[in-house]
Copies of this chain bind each other. A is one copy, B any other.
């Protein structure tokens, strides 16, 4: 899962919840500009920022071992 996929997941989820980037940025407490960059995959956010956004959207992330099955 790369930055673009992450951005898309976030964007999809935000749209599903029917909120704007502006609204989400205010809910999360990060700059609108940062959120835009995250969603477009152009940014390189810190874990804290990513966590905040995911959390606000009812999302979370897990670490997994890459398996061959």
Interface residues of A (CB under 8 A from B): 1-3, 6, 9-10, 13, 44-48, 50-51, 54, 58-66
**A47 partner, pick from B3, B63, B64, beta carbons under 8 A:** B3
Compute how far the CA of A64 lies from the CA of B17 in the bound complex, rounded to whole angstroms: 15
Question: Which residues of B are found within 8 Å of A64, using beta-carbon distances?
Answer: 59-62
Compute how far the CA of A57 lies from the CA of B51 in the bound complex, rounded to whole angstroms: 22
Copies of this chain, complex-wide, total: 2
Compute how far the CA of A53 lies from the CA of B44 in the bound complex, rounded to whole angstroms: 15
Contacts beyond the supplied A58-B65, A59-B63, A62-B62: 14 A-B pairs with Cβ under 8 Å: A1-B61, A1-B62, A3-B47, A3-B48, A6-B63, A44-B46, A44-B48, A46-B46, A59-B64, A59-B66, A60-B66, A61-B61, A61-B64, A62-B64
